[in-house]
Amino acid sequence: MTTATEARSGKSHRDENFPVASHLIHPRHRGPILAFYTFVRAGDDVADNPGLTPERKIALLDGLADALTGAGAADPEAAPLKAALAERGLAPRHALELLDAFRMDARKSRYADFDELMHYCRYSAMPVGRFVLDVHGEDPAATWAASDAICAALQIINHLQDCGKDYAQLDRVYLPADLLATHGVEVAALGAERASPALRAVIGTLAHRCLDLLHEGRALPDLIEDTRLAMEIAAIHRLAVLLARGLTARDPLSEPVHHGKAAFALTALAAAGASLARRPFRRRHAPRIRGARP
């Protein structure tokens, strides 16, 4: 296996836990967002491919970066995003930061504490929200901090839902080592059919941290000028709150955390509708977000 295309998993934006450029997004913005997703998916598939050595993963990720910036040979996984960025006059910064996160995944499989996990989220999650906001021409000073909080929560929720699979398939553990130690949990507990009460306590603690982050970012839909994007983010935020609450009560090793597609759709539509109803009364200044980083 020698190319990023050959490392693809076959997963698409329709397989993600949260909406990616749903039809709430205006058609003129969906193309660049989906091109971004395609590029990022290619990098993520490289990092998660168990048949590649860390060195080969890094080489492929470097090749994707060079193809996107024009510093190296063209790559079909990078071409659509490169064209979209040129058309919009946008820099490749956010996509390159995500490649940095995938390089971390290639080299690193454990996280010492929550701060270290948040540093990972700074590169693996926050650039996604920032890119979507940039595509829509939103003000970074008003929106990035709240977006960062939501994106970090989404990333950690995904980690918690997949904690058993990540350990079994990739020997990758995103649950902070100090939190596991506090509850007396060995990493091997992630390989069990059911989570022990102590592991459930670890997962619950992190789920509550996600709820805190989502609370910090709750004002984002009202800070966004584009109405359709505001509705999309309101829907994602509400779905994330439901999943985080579910993780405080359910065992991701032995049972699904998410609700059915119909329930998710109804929840998303209700949140989007509520955001639309608030538009005439929305706040137009950014809140202070604890721990926000550039």
**Residue-range domains of the chain with CATH:** 3-7+25-92 (no CATH), 108-294 (1.10.600.10)
Say what the pLDDT of residue 276 is: 65
Say what the pLDDT of residue 23 is: 75
Say what the pLDDT of residue 259 is: 65
Say what the pLDDT of residue 261 is: 65
Question: In 49-176, where does DSSP find H-type helix?
Answer: 54-69, 79-88, 93-107, 114-124, 126-135, 140-161, 163-170
Question: Taking the model in full, what pTM does it have?
Answer: 0.88
What's the rounded Cα separation, in Å, for the pair 131 and 43? 16
Query: What stretches in the chain show pLDDT beneath 50?
Result: 12-15, 285-294
What's the rounded Cα separation, in Å, for the pair 142 and 119? 22
Say what the pLDDT of residue 292 is: 40
Q: What are the percentages of helix, strand and coil residues in the chain, rounded to 5?
A: 65, 0, 35
What residues contact 200, with CB distance under 8 A and at least 6 apart? 251
Tokens at residue 193, please? 């059919």
